[in-house]
Amino acid sequence: MGNPLSIMIVGQIGLPIFYTTVVGYGAIMAGISKEITGSVTYDPTLLVVKFTTYLFAIPILIAYAFTMLNTNIFSNVVPPVYDLINTFPSKLSWIRGVIIVSILGIAVGAWSLYLKGAYTYFDTWIAFISGLLGPIAGIIVADYAILRKFKINLHDVFVRKGEYTFYKGFNISAILTLIIIFPIIFSTQLHIPIPFSIYIYKMSWMSGFLMSIPLYLLLTKLFDKYKR
């Protein structure tokens, strides 16, 4: 089966290359559509149907479907399945984790936005997910890189009362950071008057990431006595 470490390294190197290729393909197709039709078309399936015959469209769309399936399995299914089975290792197997994640994915219904158009899908759904994940990434960087200097207490990771227990199992600083940052990012949707709110929302991942780092560091200093 090979060395697990080497397999992991190959996977980590290969995935960014594959994702970048897919994104580049989408950008090139959007640029081509601008030159040909005069307007940007984000959905490559529309271009295929419009500018090719059925003889060529069917195999191209089948290949595109497999590409999308492959991308989404790696990026949207595998990580949450690992999270679930690592959280409940005695109760969940890989198959059960996949089934649960698949059901949750269908229940979320992100695909329904696609029915309103590719631009609406990407602009709404991706911005929302970015707004959620950006602050979380900022908290992780602030805690691990800045506060802990890239050091991890491996023993305390697996004990109930250790360095990572924080306050009764909850990181108060992280929770408050998310509670404060989320309304700022989505201020346009919540009708909260904040300067440059539209730009904060459009760059939701980066703005959330940058705002969460200093805020988390400040709150950690204020709530240091509530760690345990």
* pLDDT tens by residue, 27-82: 787 787 777 777 777 677 777 777 777 788 888 888 878 877 777 777 778 888 88
**pLDDT of amino acid 204:** 87
Domain boundaries along the sequence of the chain? 4-110, 124-226
CA dist 37 and 59 (Å) reads 23
Q: pTM for the complete prediction?
A: 0.59
Q: With cut-offs at 50, 70 and 90, classify the pLDDT of residue 225.
A: low
- pLDDT at 17 exceeding the cut of 90: no
CA dist 50 and 37 (Å) reads 11
DSSP state of 84: H
CA dist 220 and 172 (Å) reads 8
pLDDT in tens, 95-111: 888 899 888 877 776 66
**Residue 153: other Cβ atoms inside 10 A:** 11
DSSP state of 110: T
**pLDDT of amino acid 1:** 45
CA dist 220 and 214 (Å) reads 10
The phi, psi pair for 22, rounded to 5°, reads -65, -45
More confident residue, 227 or 140: 140
